[in-house]
Every structure is written in C-alpha cells, then in structure tokens.
Chains A and B, each alone.
Chain A
Amino acid sequence: MPTRRLTIVLAEDSLLLREGLASILDRAGHDVRDSVGDADTLLAVVHKDPPDVVITDVRMPPGHSDEGLRAAAAIRAELPAIGILVLSQYVADAYLSSLLETTSGGIGYLLKDRVGHVAEFLESLDRVADGGTVVDPEVVRQLLARRRNDGPLAALTPRELEVLALMAEGRVNASIAEQLVVSEAAVRKHVGNIFAKLRLDDGLDRRVSAVLTYLRG
C-alpha cells in the first residue's frame, strides 16, 4: 500500500471514471486535490499549485483528440518534477512515443483496464511519483511481438527481451525474478547483459534508458 500520501490532480472527462478513480485514490489515502474535465483547466490548475502526480486521460475536450497527452507533454517540459501517469484506451505506441520523446522517467502509460487491478495500479502510481517509468504490460506485449530484424534489440536473447519487457513495466529485480521463476542473481546477470548490449552509459538512469531504447525499437 502507499508509501506516502501523494497530492494528485486528476484529468478525465468522463464523470463516471473520474468518480471511480477519485474513490480508489481516496481509499488508498492519497489526496486528490483537483479533478478536472478538460486539458486547459488541467494546465491552469497544475500551474497554480504543482501536485506530486498528474493522472490524465489521452482523449479530452475540446477536440477529443490527444489533448490530455499534449497537456502532459507541456507539464513535463515546464515542471519536470511532477510525475505523470497517462491513462489510455488504446494500445497505440504512437501516443507512447510522443510521450517519451522528452522524458527520462517519472512517467507512466497505462490502459484504463489496469485501474481495476487496484493494488497494481496504486503500485504503478507510486513508481511514477518516485521517478520510475511504467508501461502497460499489454503495450509491452505488443511491442515485444514486433520482431525486428534490425535495431539494438536484435542482439538480445529471448530471455533478455523478457526481462527487458518486465523492466519496462516498471518492475524491480525481485519482482522480475518472481515473475520468471528464477533467482534474483540471474535477473541481475540478465540486466547487466542488457545494459552491456545496449551500450548504455553509467551516468544515466540505465534502467530507464534500457526501457526507452526498447520502446523506440
């Protein structure tokens, strides 16, 4: 359950979902400071008093296109300390790419179905608040299905790809080990190999870089 009490701004145009989300977050002991129904209000509210985390829908008024996503990008550019969790109805990687272009963590992209798995959802929220990257397992699964013959991922073994996919979901080594039914030491070894093969610098948050490399395919 929550490690700390987060201030949250919620942007979702469907009243039904907004109420549902607010009650889930309330129960978990978070402080839903504002819940808004469109992107402009979201930006205004966030500017006035920055929260810890913004949870936003992709599609919002006035255009019912990807206003939520664009608002998220704007917030990220101005106030990079705010964690951003995007909830989407689509498994589309086009949205994800545009979200990840300017970022290195503190970001999440989840399908709305995932909110129903309350414990997992709250865990993801915490990770985003702590500067981690969380990507929906379904999206990850689809990206994994993209068997590219080229690109940096070609060098990885299937097992390493699996580990990377779980990293993309935002899991720590212990959780990956549990999921794959292997020892944590084995996971560490795989993670080391992945870093080496993707030639990641030490200075960067390598875990996030690995995930980003992965997502950019």
Chain B
Amino acid sequence: MSTSDVTREGIRGAHPGREALTGAVSTLDGHRREHPRGRRIRRGEPEFRSYYDKPVLNQIVWEPRDIAGYLFLGGLAGASSVLAAGADLTGRPGLARPLKYTALGAITGSVAALVNDLGRPARFVNMLRVLKWTSPMSVGSWILMAYGPLAGAAAVSQATGILPGLGRAAALGAGAVGPAVAAYTAPLICDTAVPAWHEGFREMPFVFVGSAAAAAGGMGMATAPVSQAGPARRAAVLGSALETAALWRMERRMGMVAEPYRTGRSGLLMRAAKALTVGGAVGALLGARSRRVSAVAGAALLAGSACTRFGVFHAGVASAADPKYTVVPQRRRLEERKAAEANESAQAAASSAAQEAEGSADS
C-alpha cells in the first residue's frame, strides 16, 4: 500500500527504500546487477557505458550440447579419417579399422546433433538449397555431404569385407576431405559478431585441427594394438602441441576479449582441457609400450578435445552476454582511428605550413 502523497512541495511520505536514483541500479530478468558506472572496477578493467548493462548482441540460440558436441565430433571424424587412410596405405589394419568406425560414428553423431538443434531432419536438407561462400554453415553442409558417404562406405566395406577396392578408395577419399571437416567449423563460429569467437579467427582453425588430431590420435591409441599405434601416438602429441600453442597465441592476441576463456564455466573447461590434453600427450610419449597407459591417455585426449570445444563455446556465450566485450574494443578502435586522423591532419597542416614558409623564404 502506498502512503506517499504528491504535494505542491514535492512527494511526501515516500518509502525511503523506494528511492530510485537515476542510473543507480539496473535489473532485468530478475537478477540485480550494479550499473556499469557503479560497478566495482577491478584494476585494469576498462570503464564503459551501456544500456542498463544489457548485452548489445542477441544471445546465441544454439544448444551447447548440440553445437559444441557437433564441433567435437566433426573434428574427431575428420582427423580419424586422415589417420585411417594413412594406416590403410602403410598396412596397419589394426589402426585403420577402429578409426574408420570412429569416423562413421562421429560424423553420424555430429549430423544428428545438428539436426537435433534444427528441430527436424527436413531442415538439414533445406541447407542444400544453395551453396554460399559467405556462409560457412552452407559450405560445411556441402563438405558433410561429400564426406559422410565416403566415411560410411569406408566403414561398411571394412566391417563386411564387401568391395574392398572401393572401400579403400572411399577411405582415401574420406582422408582427403577429412581435414576440411575438421577445419571448417572454425570459420563457422568465427564468422559471427561474438567477440570471443570473431577476434580469434586467425588461430581458431589451428586450435580446432590440433584438438581434432589429438582426439583421433587418442582414439587410435585406445583402440589399436600398441605395435600399430605409433602414428596415432605421434598424431596425439603433435595435435596437443599445436592446440596448446595456438590457444596461447590466440589468448595473447585477443587482449581483454580473451577473458571469458579464463573465467567462469568456460575458464574451468579450458583448464580441464589443457590438463587432459597435456596429460594425454605425456601418456602417449611415455606409455607407448603399455596397452593400459595408452588406453587411459587416449581417453584423456578425447575428453580434452571435448572440453576444448565446450570451453570455446561457452566463452563465446559469455562474451556475447556482457556488453563490455562488444563496447570496449569497438570504442577503443574508434578512438584510435580518431587519433590517427587527427594526427594525419596535424601533419598535413604542419607540412603545408612548412611549404608556405619555404615559399615565402624563396620570394
């Protein structure tokens, strides 16, 4: 019940707790947050203004499980096919067989995750209406269309022994398209306005293929006999190293926008990914002779690769949800541009003044 009165002298008897100070607080969706200007500024945290602390971008509508899972499985499938093709060519059937099955299983799971996110299968078919270079999702759909049947034929021929020659050709074909399957998902997420994704577009493909190689290597280590798993171990070590280096470089280059990779749920996932990946790589190096160590290290590498994708996904979500990551870098860019322009015009003015001075000295 209100007990306040509006009088000629202003409002009387208003409840003190109701006093609404301009810009003192902003709340939406139920949770209270301090207004940006009132929010505690950590050292080094840039100040910025925003509309009641609301995000500038709309929230990513993808389900984390579906889309991060899709990224992980696509990478696993693509790199597995490459390893399987190599194993085929060098006469390592014990390594080729499980990796061909992995490729088929992973790509099926990946497409299933995508269809689940879209809502119904017809919508995936709808993706093939057009081929657009400006849309990594369109390009990716076509890559999947080329890759899926090859991976499928390779696995089925392997399992049944039917048409071994064609099966082998399919395996090689899948190995050739595999890298594209593992790599295109980076432009897929980077071609958005999501700061933590877009800013990392140079390194993200290397993070993804590194993580894919680590996962496929881990799978090979876990499933192939130790005597044939050499290439898988080396792929795991190479992939882990590439992923770790690319991530390190990406975070350094992104500046403040890399924050979501270190904080919150995504930070946790990224740390877990690093521990699992590095641990798995060490296992691959040291436990080469032991079937058991290989299996554990392989599982760690697979889990690490999955954590990387979920970590990257959640970092994107966090960076889109906080206006800071949109506003601060853009504002900085604007200011730098303005400063450069001012500098240029000052220089132009100085040089024309110098010319004039020269001219008057001549005359």
| Pairing of A with B | no
